[in-house]
Chain A
Amino acid sequence: MNLFRLFGDLSHLASIIILLQKIRSTRSCRGISFKTQALYATVFITRYLDLFYDWVSLYNFTMKVFFIASSCYILYLMRYKYRPTHDPSIDTFRVEYLLGPSAVLALLFHYRFTVPEVFWSFSIFLEAVAILPQLFMLQRTGEAETITTHYLAALGAYRALYIPNWIYRYFTEDMVDPIAVTAGIVQTALYLDFFYVYFTKVLQGQKFELPA
Protein backbone atom coordinates (compact mmCIF):
# COMPACT_ATOMS: atom_id res chain seq x y z
CA MET A 1 0.00 0.00 0.00
CA ASN A 2 1.34 3.40 -0.92
CA LEU A 3 -0.09 6.87 -0.44
CA PHE A 4 -1.26 7.20 -4.06
CA ARG A 5 -3.38 4.10 -3.76
CA LEU A 6 -4.60 4.98 -0.28
CA PHE A 7 -5.69 8.46 -1.39
CA GLY A 8 -7.12 6.98 -4.58
CA ASP A 9 -9.26 4.58 -2.58
CA LEU A 10 -10.28 7.31 -0.14
CA SER A 11 -11.25 9.47 -3.10
CA HIS A 12 -13.35 6.60 -4.44
CA LEU A 13 -14.98 6.26 -1.03
CA ALA A 14 -15.59 10.01 -0.94
CA SER A 15 -17.19 9.96 -4.40
CA ILE A 16 -19.79 7.43 -3.24
CA ILE A 17 -20.50 9.40 -0.07
CA ILE A 18 -20.92 12.58 -2.16
CA LEU A 19 -23.30 10.75 -4.50
CA LEU A 20 -25.38 9.49 -1.57
CA GLN A 21 -25.36 13.00 -0.11
CA LYS A 22 -26.50 14.43 -3.45
CA ILE A 23 -29.43 12.01 -3.61
CA ARG A 24 -30.34 12.63 0.02
CA SER A 25 -30.02 16.42 0.07
CA THR A 26 -31.84 17.04 -3.21
CA ARG A 27 -34.19 14.08 -2.61
CA SER A 28 -33.58 13.30 -6.25
CA CYS A 29 -31.35 11.31 -8.54
CA ARG A 30 -31.76 13.81 -11.34
CA GLY A 31 -28.63 14.12 -13.42
CA ILE A 32 -27.31 10.69 -12.39
CA SER A 33 -27.14 7.95 -14.99
CA PHE A 34 -28.82 4.78 -13.78
CA LYS A 35 -26.94 2.90 -16.48
CA THR A 36 -23.54 3.99 -15.19
CA GLN A 37 -24.54 3.06 -11.64
CA ALA A 38 -25.78 -0.36 -12.79
CA LEU A 39 -22.48 -0.89 -14.63
CA TYR A 40 -20.52 -0.06 -11.47
CA ALA A 41 -22.55 -2.58 -9.47
CA THR A 42 -21.75 -5.14 -12.20
CA VAL A 43 -18.07 -4.18 -12.04
CA PHE A 44 -17.82 -4.69 -8.28
CA ILE A 45 -19.79 -7.94 -8.20
CA THR A 46 -17.78 -9.53 -11.04
CA ARG A 47 -14.43 -8.29 -9.71
CA TYR A 48 -14.81 -9.22 -6.07
CA LEU A 49 -15.75 -12.88 -6.53
CA ASP A 50 -12.51 -13.58 -4.65
CA LEU A 51 -14.17 -12.18 -1.54
CA PHE A 52 -15.31 -15.72 -0.85
CA TYR A 53 -11.98 -17.53 -1.14
CA ASP A 54 -9.08 -15.07 -1.08
CA TRP A 55 -8.13 -13.03 1.98
CA VAL A 56 -5.92 -10.01 1.27
CA SER A 57 -6.41 -7.79 4.31
CA LEU A 58 -9.13 -6.36 6.53
CA TYR A 59 -8.81 -3.09 4.58
CA ASN A 60 -9.26 -4.87 1.26
CA PHE A 61 -12.20 -6.93 2.55
CA THR A 62 -14.00 -3.96 4.10
CA MET A 63 -13.61 -1.82 0.98
CA LYS A 64 -14.88 -4.59 -1.29
CA VAL A 65 -17.95 -5.16 0.85
CA PHE A 66 -18.57 -1.42 1.01
CA PHE A 67 -18.32 -0.97 -2.77
CA ILE A 68 -20.67 -3.87 -3.50
CA ALA A 69 -23.17 -2.84 -0.83
CA SER A 70 -23.16 0.88 -1.64
CA SER A 71 -23.51 0.33 -5.39
CA CYS A 72 -26.50 -1.96 -4.82
CA TYR A 73 -28.00 0.52 -2.38
CA ILE A 74 -27.65 3.33 -4.93
CA LEU A 75 -29.44 1.18 -7.51
CA TYR A 76 -32.23 0.59 -4.98
CA LEU A 77 -32.54 4.32 -4.30
CA MET A 78 -32.69 5.13 -8.02
CA ARG A 79 -34.99 2.29 -8.99
CA TYR A 80 -37.46 2.49 -6.10
CA LYS A 81 -37.17 5.28 -3.58
CA TYR A 82 -36.48 8.14 -6.00
CA ARG A 83 -37.71 6.49 -9.16
CA PRO A 84 -39.89 9.43 -10.34
CA THR A 85 -36.85 11.73 -10.30
CA HIS A 86 -34.97 9.64 -12.84
CA ASP A 87 -35.67 10.43 -16.50
CA PRO A 88 -34.82 7.41 -18.67
CA SER A 89 -35.36 9.45 -21.84
CA ILE A 90 -32.03 11.25 -21.34
CA ASP A 91 -30.16 8.17 -20.09
CA THR A 92 -29.99 6.58 -23.51
CA PHE A 93 -26.44 5.30 -23.94
CA ARG A 94 -26.49 1.75 -25.32
CA VAL A 95 -24.78 -0.29 -22.61
CA GLU A 96 -24.52 -3.35 -24.88
CA TYR A 97 -21.79 -1.44 -26.74
CA LEU A 98 -19.82 -1.48 -23.49
CA LEU A 99 -20.76 -4.93 -22.15
CA GLY A 100 -20.08 -6.76 -25.43
CA PRO A 101 -16.58 -5.46 -26.14
CA SER A 102 -15.62 -5.80 -22.45
CA ALA A 103 -16.63 -9.46 -22.57
CA VAL A 104 -14.68 -10.05 -25.79
CA LEU A 105 -11.60 -8.29 -24.41
CA ALA A 106 -11.82 -10.33 -21.20
CA LEU A 107 -11.87 -13.55 -23.23
CA LEU A 108 -8.81 -12.36 -25.16
CA PHE A 109 -6.83 -10.75 -22.33
CA HIS A 110 -6.67 -12.34 -18.88
CA TYR A 111 -3.98 -13.73 -16.61
CA ARG A 112 -5.44 -17.22 -16.39
CA PHE A 113 -8.31 -18.82 -18.22
CA THR A 114 -10.49 -19.46 -15.19
CA VAL A 115 -13.96 -18.14 -14.40
CA PRO A 116 -12.89 -15.68 -11.67
CA GLU A 117 -9.89 -14.42 -13.68
CA VAL A 118 -11.95 -13.83 -16.84
CA PHE A 119 -14.61 -12.08 -14.74
CA TRP A 120 -11.86 -10.03 -13.13
CA SER A 121 -10.58 -8.92 -16.56
CA PHE A 122 -14.15 -8.20 -17.68
CA SER A 123 -14.66 -5.96 -14.63
CA ILE A 124 -11.46 -4.06 -15.37
CA PHE A 125 -12.43 -3.37 -18.99
CA LEU A 126 -16.01 -2.56 -18.04
CA GLU A 127 -14.96 -0.15 -15.30
CA ALA A 128 -12.80 1.70 -17.83
CA VAL A 129 -15.89 2.68 -19.84
CA ALA A 130 -18.67 2.51 -17.23
CA ILE A 131 -18.68 6.30 -16.83
CA LEU A 132 -19.61 6.84 -20.50
CA PRO A 133 -23.43 6.76 -20.05
CA GLN A 134 -22.99 9.40 -17.31
CA LEU A 135 -20.73 11.60 -19.43
CA PHE A 136 -23.06 11.12 -22.41
CA MET A 137 -25.98 12.28 -20.27
CA LEU A 138 -23.99 15.32 -19.13
CA GLN A 139 -23.21 16.13 -22.74
CA ARG A 140 -26.89 15.85 -23.67
CA THR A 141 -28.19 18.07 -20.89
CA GLY A 142 -25.18 20.42 -21.10
CA GLU A 143 -25.22 21.18 -17.38
CA ALA A 144 -24.93 19.55 -13.99
CA GLU A 145 -25.63 20.32 -10.35
CA THR A 146 -22.44 21.31 -8.55
CA ILE A 147 -22.61 18.37 -6.15
CA THR A 148 -22.86 15.97 -9.10
CA THR A 149 -19.67 17.46 -10.54
CA HIS A 150 -17.94 16.96 -7.17
CA TYR A 151 -18.98 13.30 -7.34
CA LEU A 152 -17.47 12.95 -10.82
CA ALA A 153 -14.32 14.83 -9.83
CA ALA A 154 -13.73 12.52 -6.84
CA LEU A 155 -14.32 9.49 -9.05
CA GLY A 156 -11.90 10.83 -11.66
CA ALA A 157 -9.31 11.64 -8.99
CA TYR A 158 -9.48 8.05 -7.77
CA ARG A 159 -8.62 6.81 -11.25
CA ALA A 160 -5.94 9.42 -11.79
CA LEU A 161 -4.24 8.51 -8.46
CA TYR A 162 -3.97 4.87 -9.46
CA ILE A 163 -1.53 5.85 -12.22
CA PRO A 164 1.26 7.18 -9.94
CA ASN A 165 0.49 4.16 -7.72
CA TRP A 166 1.41 1.84 -10.61
CA ILE A 167 4.54 3.82 -11.42
CA TYR A 168 5.53 3.64 -7.75
CA ARG A 169 4.86 -0.10 -7.59
CA TYR A 170 6.86 -0.67 -10.73
CA PHE A 171 9.94 0.88 -9.13
CA THR A 172 9.50 -0.38 -5.56
CA GLU A 173 7.98 -3.85 -6.05
CA ASP A 174 8.84 -4.55 -9.69
CA MET A 175 5.10 -5.09 -10.08
CA VAL A 176 3.29 -4.53 -13.38
CA ASP A 177 -0.34 -5.32 -14.08
CA PRO A 178 -0.63 -4.61 -17.83
CA ILE A 179 -4.41 -5.20 -18.01
CA ALA A 180 -5.22 -2.86 -15.12
CA VAL A 181 -2.71 -0.25 -16.30
CA THR A 182 -3.94 -0.13 -19.91
CA ALA A 183 -7.60 0.00 -18.91
CA GLY A 184 -6.79 2.50 -16.16
CA ILE A 185 -5.09 4.91 -18.51
CA VAL A 186 -8.05 4.76 -20.92
CA GLN A 187 -10.43 5.29 -18.02
CA THR A 188 -8.55 8.31 -16.72
CA ALA A 189 -8.33 9.82 -20.22
CA LEU A 190 -12.14 9.76 -20.46
CA TYR A 191 -12.25 12.30 -17.61
CA LEU A 192 -9.96 14.86 -19.23
CA ASP A 193 -12.73 16.91 -20.87
CA PHE A 194 -14.76 16.84 -17.69
CA PHE A 195 -11.77 17.89 -15.57
CA TYR A 196 -11.08 20.81 -17.88
CA VAL A 197 -14.58 22.23 -17.33
CA TYR A 198 -14.50 21.33 -13.62
CA PHE A 199 -11.26 23.23 -13.01
CA THR A 200 -12.05 26.22 -15.21
CA LYS A 201 -15.69 26.65 -14.12
CA VAL A 202 -16.86 24.80 -11.00
CA LEU A 203 -13.74 25.48 -8.93
CA GLN A 204 -13.96 29.14 -9.96
CA GLY A 205 -17.43 29.25 -8.43
CA GLN A 206 -19.38 29.02 -11.67
CA LYS A 207 -22.04 26.55 -12.68
CA PHE A 208 -21.02 23.50 -14.68
CA GLU A 209 -22.24 24.34 -18.17
CA LEU A 210 -21.01 23.04 -21.47
CA PRO A 211 -20.78 25.41 -24.43
CA ALA A 212 -23.91 25.04 -26.57
Chain B
Amino acid sequence: GSGTVPHDEL
Protein backbone atom coordinates (compact mmCIF):
# COMPACT_ATOMS: atom_id res chain seq x y z
CA GLY B 1 0.00 0.00 0.00
CA SER B 2 1.19 3.53 -0.70
CA GLY B 3 2.12 5.60 2.31
CA THR B 4 0.73 3.13 4.82
CA VAL B 5 2.10 0.22 6.76
CA PRO B 6 3.05 -2.55 4.32
CA HIS B 7 1.39 -5.85 5.12
CA ASP B 8 4.47 -7.97 4.67
CA GLU B 9 3.81 -10.04 7.79
CA LEU B 10 1.62 -13.10 7.90
**Which residues of the other chain, A, contact B1 by a CB distance below 8 angstroms?**
111-112, 117
**B interface size (C-beta, 8 A):** 7
Contact B10 A60 (CB under 8 A): yes
**How many residues belonging to A are interface residues under a CB distance threshold of 8 Å?**
22
Of the residues A67, A117, A179, contact of B10 by C-beta under 8 Å: A67
SS class, residues of chain A in contact with chain B: helix
Q: What per-residue 1/0 map shows which CB atoms of A144-183 lie under 8 Å from chain B?
A: 0000000000000000001001000000000111011000
**Do residues A64 and B10 form an inter-chain contact, with CB atoms below 8 A?**
yes
A5:B9 contact, CB within 8 angstroms: yes
Question: Does A143 belong to the interface (CB within 8 Å)?
Answer: no
Q: Is A162's CB under 8 angstroms from B5's CB?
A: no
* Chain A residues with CB below 8 A from B4, complex form: 111-112, 117
Using CB atoms, name the residue of chain A closest to B5: A177
Q: Which residues of B contact A208 (CB under 8 A)?
A: none
Give Cα A115–Cα B7 distance, bound, in whole angstroms. 15
Across the interface, do A56 and B5 meet the contact criterion of CB distance under 8 Å? Answer: no
Give the distance in Å from the alpha carbon of A50 to the alpha carbon of B6 in the complex.
11
| Whole-angstrom distance between the Cβ of A9 and the nearest chain B Cβ | 6
> What residues make up the interface of A, taking CB atoms closer than 8 Å to B?
5, 9, 12, 47, 50, 54, 56, 60, 63-64, 67, 111-112, 117, 120, 162, 165, 175-177, 179-180
Q: 13 A–B contact pairs at CB < 8 A?
A: A47-B7, A50-B7, A60-B8, A63-B10, A64-B10, A67-B10, A112-B1, A117-B1, A117-B4, A120-B7, A175-B5, A179-B5, A180-B9
